[in-house]
Amino acid sequence: MEKEQRAAGEFRQNLEQKEAELIQVLRTRDGIAIEKSADQMDEVQLASERDLAIQNVDRESHLLRQVKAALRRTHDGTFGICMDCDCQISFKRLTAVPWAQRCIQCQETADVSGNGQETLVSAA
């Protein structure tokens, strides 16, 4: 039991660290400014860079929501429990993706059906 509590504390700490990191990244989103250029090729390049920056902000915002949801689960006691089948999510999976909402089997099923919106981004 003590080992499980220690692991839960480490997951919580990793999630809090990831949350702080994402908040900091989202605060410094410089690449989205609309810039004008006399050269049409430069303007196309700037628009392309802005679109990429917007996609990154969108992905990071989605990940931040997942991290915050995982932190809520650590507080309400449902962290590590699959939201679909109520089985324990494996330690290995939680180590790789601490914000995982589903066990690997349910996540694969959700991915195939198009309902799996989990982002597999490194927790480090």
Q: What percent of the chain has pLDDT over 70?
A: 80
Query: Helices marked H in 1-124 — which ranges?
Result: 2-27, 40-76, 91-96, 104-113
pLDDT of residue 96: 93
CA distance 79 to 88: 9
Predicted confidence band of residue 122 (pLDDT cuts 50, 70, 90): very low
Class of domain 2-113: mainly alpha
pLDDT average, residue stretch 74-92: 93
**Please, what is the end-to-end C-alpha distance for the chain in angstroms?**
26
Predicted confidence band of residue 100 (pLDDT cuts 50, 70, 90): very high
pLDDT average, residue stretch 77-90: 94
- Biggest CA–CA distance in the chain, Å, is 66
Per-domain residue ranges of the chain: 2-113
CA distance 116 to 70: 16
